[in-house]
Amino acid sequence: MSRSLQRELSRALGIGIVAAGIVAAAVSFGFAYRQAQELQDETLREIAMLAAGHATASRGAAFELADSRPAARDSDAKVLLWSLSSKARPAWLPADLAPGFHTLAGESERMRVFVHAAGHERIAVAQSTDLRDESAINSALLTLLPLLVLVPLLVALVSYIVRREIAPLRRLSAVLDAQPAGEPRPLPESDIPEEAASFVAAINRLLGRVNKLIGHQRRFIADAAHELRSPLTALSVQARNLEQAASPEKMRERIAPLKAGIERARHLTEQLLDLAKSEAGGGEGTKSGGEIDVALLARDLIAQRLPEAGQRGLDLGLEQLAPATLRGSEAVLRLILKNALENALRYTPAGGEVTVRIAAEGEDVLIEVLDTGPGIPEAERERIFAPFYRIAGSEGEGSGLGLAIARDAAARLGGRISLHARKDGTGTVFRYRQRSERSPGA
């Protein structure tokens, strides 16, 4: 089940307010009860002092407060007044009771007694503790009324504030839900809580990457449709020419260009799929995988290309200047080197040389593919990495995808690709650089 931030905040704050209200009520009740008791004790003291000042006060009889208020005439408000030397005092009241406050067990209830010494005379004023407790509790309960009203109001106020503060997030979710799937727009970053600003900024960065990916896909579809149209049209024409062949000899002559066209279409389709996977970030993880023996991988790729190089009289070899191992996806590194090697073989004229060189520079591993082809003008060395871009007037039947695929794959591995002119003659140096990362325990 999904959690509701608003509900949990409201519940937690509500529980906190109620708990605080209960503690405050208990403390307030305790203080008010104690204050009421002290006030009643003070009343007993004042009555005793007042009685001591009236020599004509009746002894041993109930004494009513001389007050016109109805509460003073209520029997519950009565106090009892005695002289301790009087024979009329009750048996539960000792004659030798010391001055001050005492709580004694009366005939039927407990009594709160104050003894006041006036010369040789000691006067005792008593009141039922049950009546005192009832009066104190009633007074203390009155102090709880504001809290009983305030706590529900605070709970309602907190619920309203939480709902109001969460409202911007609801509006953002509504804006996000209303976004068109094919062209998401950034979320507004104004009028949102500071705590959610980083979250919204992260969503906007993600939407930016999604837009970029959608743009790549649209361009890929458009470019792929454009690039596939020509070879497919050529295959269709060659198939019709084969169908119209008048003799087996003519048919065999026309089969060769048809097979070449099919191979070009296959190669282009394979590169388009590699490019789509690379731009979508598919395939294996960027730096995940095991340890790669670069020399072993290079020898495998060279072995696959030796027949092609032999047919064209190309000198294809490996030059290893230092042992090199990389950590990552072998399939991605193979894709990089395969495209670099294909480009070098395609544009190197017959009788030329293509060399795969493995070297180290500090903590970096360098993999270079050197050819003796026509070279690449310096102004074109960055533009040539764009998909389907080919240098004007270049020979060979390339699709312009190899380097674009290689650079994107290199970024996924955490490496860098660059192109350089050979210092020992004409030709190009394809260079891949990646930090060497040893596996744990190596």
Q: Sign of the C-alpha dihedral, residues 37, 41, 43, 44? A: positive
Categorize the per-residue pLDDT at 57 as very low, low, confident or very high, splitting at 50, 70 and 90: very low
Q: What percent of the chain has pLDDT over 70?
A: 81
pTM score of the predicted model: 0.47
Whether the predicted pLDDT of 75 surpasses 80: no
Per-residue pLDDT, 69: 34
Query: What topology does CATH give the domain 194-279?
Result: Helix Hairpins (1.10.287)
Q: Treating both helix axes as pointing N-terminal to C-terminal, what angle do 145-177 and 5-52 enclose, rounded to 10 degrees?
A: 170
Stretch 404-430: mean pLDDT: 84
Nearest alpha carbon to residue 405 among 309, 275, 276, 301? 275
Categorize the per-residue pLDDT at 388 as very low, low, confident or very high, splitting at 50, 70 and 90: low
Domains 194-279 and 291-435 share a fold: no
Question: Please, which residues bridge with residue 118 across strands?
Answer: 121
Nearest alpha carbon to residue 293 among 266, 271, 320? 320
Per-residue pLDDT, 61: 41
Residue 298 CA to residue 364 CA, distance in Å, equals 17
Categorize the per-residue pLDDT at 357 as very low, low, confident or very high, splitting at 50, 70 and 90: very high
Categorize the per-residue pLDDT at 199 as very low, low, confident or very high, splitting at 50, 70 and 90: confident
Task: Compare 296 and 196 and report the one with higher pLDDT.
Answer: 296
Residue 417 CA to residue 431 CA, distance in Å, equals 6
Helix (H) / strand (E) containing 326: strand 325-327
Q: What percent of the chain has pLDDT over 90?
A: 8
Q: Sign of the C-alpha dihedral, residues 426, 323, 297, 302? A: positive
DSSP letter for 123, please: E
Domain edges within the chain? 5-145, 194-279, 291-435
Per-residue pLDDT, 70: 34
Residue 294 CA to residue 297 CA, distance in Å, equals 5
Task: Compare 161 and 396 and report the one with higher pLDDT.
Answer: 161
Q: Which two three-digit tokens encode residue 383?
A: 């533009």
The string of pLDDT tens digits covering residues 272-305 is 676 666 555 544 444 456 788 999 999 999 998 8
Q: Which two three-digit tokens encode residue 24?
A: 């405050």
Whether the predicted pLDDT of 135 surpasses 80: yes
The domain covering 291-435 belongs, at the CATH homologous superfamily level, to: Histidine kinase-like ATPase, C-terminal domain (3.30.565.10)
Mean pLDDT of the chain: 78
Residue 292 near residue 325 (C-beta atoms within 8 A): yes
